[in-house]
A = this chain, B = another copy of it.
């Protein structure tokens, strides 16, 4: 490749998608976005979500297209479009069927969390009181994910399950959207032990911009966020970090209730929120939508990180990870 501006990748968004947002992706120079297409959906329901994306791809071909391989990031960059990669925040789309791992990869799924907040058939979620680690089926499924090129994502999983997934997986895993717990001790943020293990195994952490994962939540400052990124680079290695903003733009609060409660409970579960603060929290003013990635890039420069390192964080590392991860073993 010729010397060009570094690629810009956001490795997790779940917006209420619209032409407006796709245009903002272009205004923000975002070459690729990994979008969530399943929280609680079973296989058929997840396919409905792919059908919706297919209609958007048909409607807005000048803005977005379906990304399958790492090379699609470059293709997006060159064509001034954004490549959209599919992923699941729950293994619900494979139901109880290991054969669906290969099928969902063929449909374009590139990341799959082994759990959302609860116990799954594969592992324990971070909201369970107990964490058994990887189950019998989980061991089989990780092996199959490694084989076909579906990345293990442990963003919402509990500590022991995460450490075991790193150990069991023969290919590097990702934590697509979370922050270090030392900076913000949220249940969803990760211990130094987990972060080090991810880095040492060649994996990736995507830093989250979701206010419940930020120090001081919606009041978090850009400099605090960027200093945290720089310190995490020291802990994990500069090659193992990127962005996974968890941007849930334009979603009504009914959606965060669905994300938390799905169909598993008749009672309301407030997850990271609370009865008094049940909805989506407001974004910090320096990261409201896809147009604001430049703010983060500038903030990272101010911490003293080199231009090359800033480029790695803003997308270069994810691109390298995509190259290594999405094709069959």
Contact = CB atoms under 8 A, between A and B. Distances in A.
Interface of A: 40, 42, 92, 95-99, 118-121, 124, 127-133, 135-137, 140, 144, 262-267, 269
A145 to B, nearest CB: 12
Nearest to A99: B263
27 contacts: A40-B96, A42-B96, A92-B96, A95-B95, A97-B263, A97-B264, A98-B263, A98-B264, A98-B265, A98-B266, A99-B263, A118-B121, A118-B135, A118-B136, A119-B119, A119-B135, A119-B136, A129-B132, A129-B136, A130-B132, A131-B132, A132-B132, A136-B264, A136-B269, A140-B265, A140-B266, A144-B266
Q: How many copies does the complex hold?
A: 2
A128 B135 CA distance: 7
Nearest to A135: B119
A262 B132 CA distance: 22
A95 B120 CA distance: 11
Contact of A137 (B98, B144, B265): B265
A129 B136 CA distance: 8
A81 B140 CA distance: 45
A42 B95 contact: yes
A119 B133 contact: no
Contacts of A118: 121, 135-137
Contacts of A128: 132, 135-136
Which 10 A-B pairs give the minimum distances between C-beta atoms?
A130-B132, A97-B263, A119-B135, A137-B264, A140-B265, A132-B132, A118-B136, A96-B263, A118-B137, A98-B266
A134 to B, nearest CB: 9
A294 B294 CA distance: 82
Contacts of A137: 118-119, 264-265
